[in-house]
Amino acid sequence: MSRILSLVVAAAISSATVPTAQAGFDLIPGNGASNSKVVFVNTELTPVATGDGTCKVVAKTVVRTSKPNTWLKYVVVDSYGHKSAVKTAKTEGNKIAILTDHWEIPNAPGLDVGWVQIAGTAPIFISDREVYKMNCMTPIEGIKG
């Protein structure tokens, strides 16, 4: 499973162009899950700036699978090469899971432009890269680009 995770994250981080959402991949055999597929994935970012200049983005991702009650495993990756620990979620009876992740943006002088992406490891899926623009050194409200 760690090899699959590495491949998904490496593809997400090293791709020079913005990938399209890759939905519809079968689960890896032997991982103990059903043969559900991801048929839709969409991520939206909401920038959040605090009074002390710290910035975060809230990534809200909607995932729809081909079968209800599908367990999902995924990581959050960003343009700095950071990745989260593996997270899990389960789709409801309507085949939809809503993933909400709070992601810190490193403070740097001036305007920071980057992206955040959700990479599923079981079933395999990848969201589009969602771009943000924020001034994280100044305590101002973040702006979405």
Q: What is the pLDDT of residue 48?
A: 83
Q: Domain for residue 142, yes or no?
A: no
Q: Which domain holds residue 44?
A: 2-135
How, if at all, do strands 87-90 and 124-126 pair? unpaired
Has residue 141 been placed in a domain?
no
Phi-psi region of 30 (alpha: psi -120 to 50; beta: other; left: phi over 0): left
Q: Residue 111 has what pLDDT? A: 79
Confidence band, pLDDT 50/70/90 cuts, at residue 3: very low
Q: Is residue 94 part of a domain?
A: yes
Helix (H) / strand (E) element for 13: namely helix 2-14
How much is the pLDDT for 137? Answer: 64
What's the number of domains the chain is made of? 1
Q: What is the CATH number of the domain that holds 11?
A: 2.60.40
This prediction's pTM: 0.69
Judged against a pLDDT cut of 90, whether residue 135 lies above it is answered with no
Pull the structure tokens for residue 138.
């100044």
